[in-house]
Structure 1
Amino acid sequence: MTGARAEVELSVDAPVGQLWEAITDLSRIGDWSPECTYAGWLDGWSEPVVGARFEARNRFPNGLVTQVVCMVVAADRPYSFGWRVFGGSPETEEHFAVWHYELRPAVRQGQTVVRQSFIHGPGDSGARAAVRADPENAAALLQGRLDQLRRNMTATIEAMARDIRRRSI
């Protein structure tokens, strides 16, 4: 499982700077994401800089709700934003996922090409727990989760872009 990857790349009708602002506005993620219902800065942090921490809460279709701690590992305004995900303290646990957004201006003015990626591991995660509980279906479980992540990434990015367009009218 470690190293399993999901990625989407979309061209959206939103300028790079405005999309960066949406992606890094943690207070809005619950408005756009089908899975992440809340995110907020921790420990006095209030902006995306390397080392900053935030918490996030996720709700899954089966009703499971999780809470994680994230640490920013990439923050190059307005082109790159990434973080590692921990089930507990980053000082005592291995991260179990890395998320990253890359933004670049598209050929058409006012558009952005956005690539969002997810890499699993190396720490323990819900996906690992599901595989341990049903090892005979490990490949299908992993593929199902990666497909779900791709759908959710696409839905989130598209919702952000629609919101930016609505506010620009």
Structure 2
Amino acid sequence: MEWTGARYADKPSVEVDIWIDAPPERVWYLVSDIDLMPHLSAELQSVHWLDGATGPVVGARFRGRNSHAAFGEWETTSHVVEYEPPHVFAWAIDDPANPSAIWRFRLRPENGGTALSQWAQLGPAPSGLSRAIERMPDREQKIVFVRLREFESGMRANLAEIKQRAEA
């Protein structure tokens, strides 16, 4: 796991990785299937492609519905910003030029299997987390730390489930 940044303006990020005993093409099939993601995440409830898209390509958009005990329910529109099969799949939340978050999967062949990483960055555009920080500015670093820990925990669970499915 790798952490960067402590304040929201620093665009804090977290990354986790795992090795999977399956070829990158098999793992790619799983990470590029947005319909699978709600089954992996406690927070993401549903997703669907927008504008007639049926799969990821740079510029395609999808809507996600989320739920979190502290933040309530909300929807986001994601924009695919990187799509290089079977190596990189990334999307920016809301405005790709000024996202409230960016998420990325990276795959690379390693030791006869696949090294898979998931990375997420908060900001720079405002999000629900920014509103919490505005209410308690003296607790910003703690708020960011807790949210990154939540991301890390969820990402570890995502990668473990992807590993289990890919190796089945």
TM-score over 0.5 for the pair: yes
Report the counterpart of residue 130 of structure 2 in structure 1: 128
- 8 Å Cα contact 1:34/1:155 also seen in 2: no
- 8 Å Cα contact 1:73/1:82 also seen in 2: yes
The answer to whether the aligner puts 1:103 opposite 2:103 as a matched pair is: no
Q: Aligned-residue CA RMSD in angstroms?
A: 1.7
Provide the rounded CA distance (Å) in 1 between the counterparts of 2:43 and 2:20. Answer: 21
Provide the rounded CA distance (Å) in 1 between the counterparts of 2:69 and 2:31. Answer: 23
Matches within 5 A, 1:34-113: 34-62=42-70, 64-86=72-94, 90=95, 94-107=98-111, 109=112, 111-113=113-115
Deviation at 1:161, TM superposition (A): 1.8
Provide the rounded CA distance (Å) in 2 between the counterparts of 1:62 and 1:80. Answer: 31
Kindly provide the amino acid, as one letter, of the partner of residue 103 in structure 2: W
Deviation >3 Å, runs of 4+: none
Q: TM (normalized to structure 2)?
A: 0.88
The answer to whether the aligner puts 1:24 opposite 2:32 as a matched pair is: yes
Matches within 5 A, 1:154-169: 154-166=156-168
- 8 Å Cα contact 1:5/1:146 also seen in 2: yes
Count of aligned positions: 160
Q: TM (normalized to structure 1)?
A: 0.88
Q: Deviations over 1:113-145 (max 9, x none)?
A: 111111121211011111111112111111000
Residues 14/64 of structure 1: CA separation in 2 closer, same or farther (3 Å cut)? farther
Provide the rounded CA distance (Å) in 1 between the counterparts of 2:89 and 2:115. Answer: 14
Report the counterpart of residue 7 of structure 1 in structure 2: 15
Report the counterpart of residue 151 of structure 1 in structure 2: 153
Percent identity at matched positions? 28
Unaligned runs of 5+ in 1: none
Q: Deviations over 1:48-99 (max 9, x none)?
A: 110010111222133711110000010000000001001xxx49x8321111
